[in-house]
Amino acid sequence: MREINYTEVVVSMKKGNKKITTQHVDTWVIGKDTTLPKINTNPKMMKQIEDNVYPSKYKGVRKVVVIKIVSTKKLGYSFYYH
At 2-38, the pLDDT tens digits run: 889 999 999 998 876 666 667 888 999 999 888 999 9
Distances in whole angstroms, Cα of residue 60 to Cα of each of 5, 23, 52, 55: 30, 16, 15, 11
Please report the pLDDT score of residue 62 as a whole number. 85
CB atoms within 10 A of CB 62: 16
pLDDT confidence of residue 79: 78
| Whole-angstrom distance, CA of residue 3 vs CA of residue 42 | 15
pLDDT at 81: 63
- According to the model, what pLDDT value does residue 66 have? 93
Average pLDDT for the chain: 87
Quick one: pLDDT band at residue 56, thresholds 50, 70, 90? Answer: confident
Q: How many domains does the chain have?
A: 1
Domain of residue 62, residue span: 2-78
